[in-house]
């Protein structure tokens, strides 16, 4: 787990399991195992389920996001980024926030990067500029192709969420 800004930490699935005290709120940016466990299902969840994309329970935000090579659609990405930004706004006032995905390279750090850019904590004119700035803080950032495609093509919209 690495602190990337005041109250904001990025990490892995392992870090998620080690954060058990009440001082942390957690954004789980992975379908397996976290969204599945948080919502209570195995396999695939029906797309009409109210928690299909996002589920918030206490100090946990569960996102049904996979790190696919194909582009994420705005219908898929926007709700997750919007929910993550809202959760960060609320939770970071009173707790440390861990944003994690399975390996800590793509989904979790991308949420941190976008939020920090939105809050003017790093460069925000373009996704490429934000990435360059963010990698100075979090050198392990290696976003998947789908995440890159989504952020490159929806950067201005994400900054308005």
| Residues 19/98, Cβ–Cβ less than 8 Å | yes
> 122-153, pLDDT tens digit by residue?
999 999 999 999 999 999 999 998 899 899 99
What domain range is 59 assigned to? 2-160
Tell me the whole-structure pTM to 2 decimals: 0.94
Predicted confidence at residue 78, as pLDDT, reads 86
Terminal-to-terminal C-alpha distance of the chain? 26
Predicted confidence at residue 132, as pLDDT, reads 98
CATH code (residue 64): 3.90.190.10
User: Which of the four pLDDT bands, split at 50, 70 and 90, describes residue 6?
Assistant: very high
Predicted confidence at residue 22, as pLDDT, reads 78
My answer on whether omega of the bond before 33 falls inside 30° of 0, hence cis, is yes
Distance (Å, whole) CA 42 – CA 106: 23
Q: How far is CA 59 from the centre of its chain?
A: 15
> 70-128, pLDDT tens digit by residue?
766 656 688 899 999 999 999 998 999 999 999 999 999 999 999 999 999 999 999 99
Predicted confidence at residue 66, as pLDDT, reads 83
Q: Total structural domains in the chain?
A: 1
pLDDT of 17 strictly over 90: no
HSE of 93, CA atoms in CB hemisphere, 13 A: 5
């Amino acid at each position: 787990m690495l602190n990337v800004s005041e109250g904001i930490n990025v990490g892995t699935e392992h870090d998620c399991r080690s954060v058990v005290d009440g001082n942390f709120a957690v954004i789980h940016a992975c379908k397996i195992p976290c969204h599945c466990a948080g919502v209570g299902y195995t396999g695939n969840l029906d797309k009409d389920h109210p928690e299909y994309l996002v589920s918030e329970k206490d100090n946990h935000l569960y996102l049904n996001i996979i790190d696919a090579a194909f582009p994420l659609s705005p219908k898929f990405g926007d709700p997750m980024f919007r929910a993550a930004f809202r959760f960060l706004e609320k939770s970071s006032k009173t707790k440390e926030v861990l944003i994690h995905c399975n390996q800590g390279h793509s989904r979790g750090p991308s949420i941190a990067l976008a939020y920090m850019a939105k809050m003017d904590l790093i460069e925000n004119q373009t996704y490429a500029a934000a990435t360059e700035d963010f990698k100075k803080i979090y050198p392990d950032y290696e976003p998947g192709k789908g995440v890159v495609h989504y952020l490159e093509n929806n950067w201005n919209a994400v900054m308005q969420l």
